[in-house]
Amino acid sequence: MDFNIALFLAQDGITNGAIYALLGLSLVLVFTVTRVILVPQGEFVAYGALTVVGLEMGTIPGTAWLLLVLGAAVFVADALRAENGRQPRILMLRALTDLVLPAVLLGVCWVVAPLDLGVWVTAPLAVALVAPLGAYIYRLAFRPLAQSPVLVLLIAAVGVHLAMIGLGLVFFGAEGFRSEPFTTASLTLGPMMVSGQSLWVLGTTSVLITSLWFFFGHTITGKALRATSVNRLGARLVGIPADRSGIIAFTMAAAMGAISGVLIGPVTTVFYDTGFLIGLKGLVAAIMGGLVSYPIAAAAALAVGLIESVASFEASSFKEVIVFTTIIPVLLWQSLRSSHVEEEEE
């Protein structure tokens, strides 16, 4: 491997690593707040990328319809459960978030899709379509299981993954697509040519990670989310609704998944099931951070990206084997650290 190839692999690895970092961070966020290991995180990536493609082709993407259906389902389910009563005020509020919002977004798609307004409209619209899916999925699938053990939540997450991947095939078909790039420009740095799209990926992830840092460190909502993840009972005792924390965490995770999808859409051919492997690599990074540490997860994500890009050069057919096997020693180390006999969570 000569120096130029090494540089190229590093660029590729860092770009992918940045995406894994975003996904890893969202997985840590969701897990610490709700104890759900978000296996379907990758589906948000595929949904994001393919929604952009759908809009570019001038069609109303399936995700817009899914949003409408899930919103209605959540509205009905919540009204039936009636935990906080069926007061008109609460029903009105819920109708706004669960019925009106999807309808408005669907309307926007209907207007915008045929106009071919380019990536600056389609990309944000795709994120806006996918992000609320996170909240709906949390309320439908996971909130009723909130008191369950992590393992039950994990199996439920796999169920959601199955359903989403099946729906992905229905919405987007079995073909793979690339979306239009944000920019076709590229930059020459010494011997290295850096593509504009890579810079977009790095820039966006940096901005996102910085704003996450600000959100968790300096806003009361962010602090409340952290509090929920540190001590669930303590959070309830100061009046932080576990529910709302879950909704926020899932919405953020879905949004970050969608943003990742929008960013990689132009550089990778995305199939309906591409997201799963990408999401799992984010999961590998999150696990390296013990599912609790944001900085370690981010660093690990870069490492996963680099390992992957080197592996794909040196032993391309064993790329996945290598990436997913690196997790085993990490897991082992994680559990050796707390090795003494402890009662496991039931």
Task: List the interface residues with other proteins, window 70-109 (CB under 8 A).
Answer: 83-85
Alpha carbon distance 52, 258 (integer Å): 10
Residue numbers 122-141 binding other proteins by CB under 8 A: 140-141
Q: Least distance (Å) from other proteins to the CB of residue 303? A: 15
Token pair, residue 18, equals 């940045």
Q: Which stretch binds other proteins (CB under 8 A): 95-103, 151-159, 204-212, 298-306?
A: 151-159
Dihedral sign, CA of 95, 97, 99, 103? positive
Q: Which stretch binds other proteins (CB under 8 A): 116-124, 180-188, 206-214, 318-326?
A: 318-326
Which of 173/203 has CB closer to other proteins?
173
Which of 128/161 has CB closer to other proteins?
161
Residue numbers 228-247 binding other proteins by CB under 8 A: 230-231, 233-242
**Is residue 155 a contact point for other proteins (CB under 8 A)?**
yes
**Is residue 150 a contact point for other proteins (CB under 8 A)?**
yes
Among 10, 60, 156, 199, binds other proteins (CB under 8 A): 156
Per the CB < 8 A criterion, the answer to whether 258 and 44 are in contact is yes
Question: Which one, of 244, 311, 252, lies nearest residue 29 by Cα?
Answer: 252
Give me the DSSP letters along 116-180. ---HHHHHHHHHHHHHHHHHHHIIIIIGGGTTS-HHHHHHHHHHHHHHHHHHHHHHH-S--B-PP
The secondary structure of residue 113, as a DSSP letter, is G
Which of 2/344 has CB closer to other proteins?
344
Residue numbers 248-307 binding other proteins by CB under 8 A: 277, 280, 283-284, 287
Q: Least distance (Å) from other proteins to the CB of residue 209? A: 19
Q: Least distance (Å) from other proteins to the CB of residue 27? A: 11
Q: Least distance (Å) from other proteins to the CB of residue 105? A: 22
Token pair, residue 290, equals 């013990």
Token look-up 């402890």 returns 342
Per the CB < 8 A criterion, the answer to whether 50 and 272 are in contact is yes
**Which of helix, strand or coil describes residue 202?**
helix
**Which of helix, strand or coil describes residue 192?**
strand
Which of 73/95 has CB closer to other proteins?
73
**φ and ψ at 292, to 5 degrees?**
-125, -25
Alpha carbon distance 283, 81 (integer Å): 33
Crossing angle, helix 196-218 and helix 242-264, to 10 degrees? 170
Q: Least distance (Å) from other proteins to the CB of residue 225? A: 11
Q: How many residues bind other proteins (CB under 8 A)?
A: 75
Q: Which stretch binds other proteins (CB under 8 A): 15-23, 128-136, 201-209, 337-345?
A: 337-345
**Is residue 342 a contact point for other proteins (CB under 8 A)?**
yes
Q: Least distance (Å) from other proteins to the CB of residue 286? A: 10
Token pair, residue 36, equals 């759900």
Q: Least distance (Å) from other proteins to the CB of residue 271? A: 13
